[in-house]
Amino acid sequence: MVTFFDSHAHLTSEALHNHLENILSRAQQMQVTNIMNICTDQASLERGLKLSERQPWIYQAGATTPHDVETQGEQMFEQFADCARKGLFKAIGETGLDYYYEHSNRKIQKEFLRRYLHLALDCYLPVVIHCREAFADFFEILDQEYVSNGKHAPGVLHCFTGTLAEAEEVIKRGWMLSLSGIVTFKKSIELQEVAKIVPLNQLLIETDSPYLAPQKHRGHTNEPSFVVETAKFIAQLKGIELDVLANATTQNARHLFKLIEN
């Protein structure tokens, strides 16, 4: 059976949580069998933990985003750390660096990235990374702070929108690279080239719901069922059958998030 894993969605955000019953029903109809929900603040965390109790096929990750670490980072860090230590998370994130918007001071962003990387190492969890126009600093911190037994510890560059050269650096470190609906946009020419060169065993797919609906649904609120459109597009780019792409990315996500034996 063809199955899809939406490796990054904000189901318990303000935009989606009041409509979850219908959203999840549509996802299941499209054979989306797992979703990683990303908790980024107090409200989304509380809703996320309750959601997993009701829907065990939905998993939780948590961290304050780089946009918000200056205002919420200290307040939320111990809550996210406590959940990670109690085994309530399958990943730490999304954390990282964003110099495009730079809503938080760069020094503070880097401080919290290091703290979350250390937390992930301590809890044997992978990290989910947001990185925009900050790859030089990100790779420097990653190489310094996130190594276990001489190798880079596991993680994923979520919603990757970098260059071919930056994608090659992600791949070289053995990380996963996740593509969202942005890859389907008509002007995403270089990102489509990235999709072609990413090894199938290092590729994930995501919606980043409620943001970034794929081309077919642009202008609408994104949701996990739309991950199928992104999968179809990438499969065509790579010249492979949809079921091959779908099942590979599902297995990759399950390995990364330790849902099956590695």
Residue 112 counted as domain residue: yes
pLDDT bucket at 103, cuts 50 / 70 / 90: confident
The answer to whether position 80 is within a domain reads yes
CATH classification at residue 193: 3.20.20.140
pLDDT at 225 over 80: yes
Question: Comparing 26-35, 82-91, 97-106, 201-210, which segment has the lowest mean pLDDT?
Answer: 97-106
Average pLDDT over residues 131-138: 98
**Count: domains in the chain:** 1
> Could you read off the pLDDT of 159-185 as tens digits, one per residue?
999 999 999 999 999 999 999 999 999
Is 233 part of any domain? no
Question: How many percent of the chain have pLDDT more than 70?
Answer: 99
| Helix H or strand E encompassing 72 | helix 69-85
* pLDDT score, position 148: 87
> Domain range holding 102?
4-216+244-256
Q: Is residue 116 part of a domain?
A: yes
In the prediction, which pLDDT does 162 show?
Answer: 97
Single-letter code of the amino acid located at 109: Q
Q: Which two tokens stand for residue 234?
A: 């990438």
117 lies in some domain: yes
pLDDT tens, residue by residue, 143-155:
999 998 888 999 9
State the pLDDT confidence band at 14, using cuts at 50, 70 and 90.
Answer: very high
Q: In the predicted model, what is the mean pLDDT of the chain?
A: 97
* Model pTM score: 0.97
CA-CA distance, 121 to 118, in Å (whole number)?
A: 5
* 235 within some domain: no
Q: CA separation (Å) from 48 to 4, 51, 156?
A: 20, 5, 20
Q: What is the pLDDT of residue 262?
A: 40
59 bridge partner residues: 36
The answer to whether position 11 is within a domain reads: yes
79 occurs within a structural domain:
yes
Owner of token pair 């301590």: 122
pLDDT at 57: 98
